[in-house]
A = this chain, B = another copy of it.
């Protein structure tokens, strides 16, 4: 599978993988050829695709996002099955909107505006400053606060929410004290309606912690069971919305949290 784009290729990859995962058991190697924005680069891509075609029984599948029709026309002459997103969707959109598209490359991932860029950076900085054990957290400025025991996915989720949506997400690791008292720390109480809990299967937590600190009490199954049980009891007792991260991706965790708390994205 090739992902050919005159920009980063992220759109082609996202779409391509979403479609190909619909074919169960299909194994494929994905090669991204980004920034193919002139004839020479497209001809180099075509040559590489044709070499792959010659080496294999099935012809390659190419997902493309080329805004320039003449480049697409060259690509489609390669010995591959070519699906071009812009070629398929732009014409019907032009008709619906009664206006012509600009056919300019790299727009979607070009920097839309300084404001958007600044928002994203601010969100990342916020997540980093409000990660496990922040020294002087400003929870009042958080769009949401993730709570959970150590290694339930709080940090990656906060960073994903910052990068993808510009959301200001803080996280707070539940302590033995919080779990013992079955209550939230005082400083979190004013933010109650923006708190979301993450939990995880104790067996999986045991695996993850063992990788980090093999043989430690922290990683023991008994300790993991105890902490997870405590956290889930706290969520139930305080009616805190929560989900288990055991079998879902960071993208799904992030999207479900925004939906549950009714939070609007700050980007796009």
Contact = CB atoms under 8 A, between A and B. Distances in A.
Interface string A14-31: 110111111110100010
B156 A124 contact: yes
Contact of A252 (B8, B103, B255): B8
Contacts of A120: 156, 250
A10 interface: yes
Contacts of A88: 88-89
Contact of A8 (B24, B124, B251): B251
Contacts of A233: none
Total copies of this chain within the assembly: 2
B111 A268 contact: no
Interface range, A side: 35 or more
A258 to B, nearest CB: 8
Contact of A30 (B85, B259, B268): B268
A163 B112 CA distance: 21
B21 A15 contact: no
Contact of A23 (B101, B159, B160, B252): B101
Interface string A97-126: 101011110111111100001101100100
A93 interface: yes
A67 B29 CA distance: 23
Interface of A: 7-11, 13-15, 17-24, 26, 30, 32, 34-35, 58, 61, 65, 67, 81, 83, 85-86, 88-90, 92-93, 96-97, 99, 101-104, 106-112, 117-118, 120-121, 124, 128, 131, 153, 155-156, 159-160, 163-164, 208, 211, 247-252, 254-256, 259, 265, 268
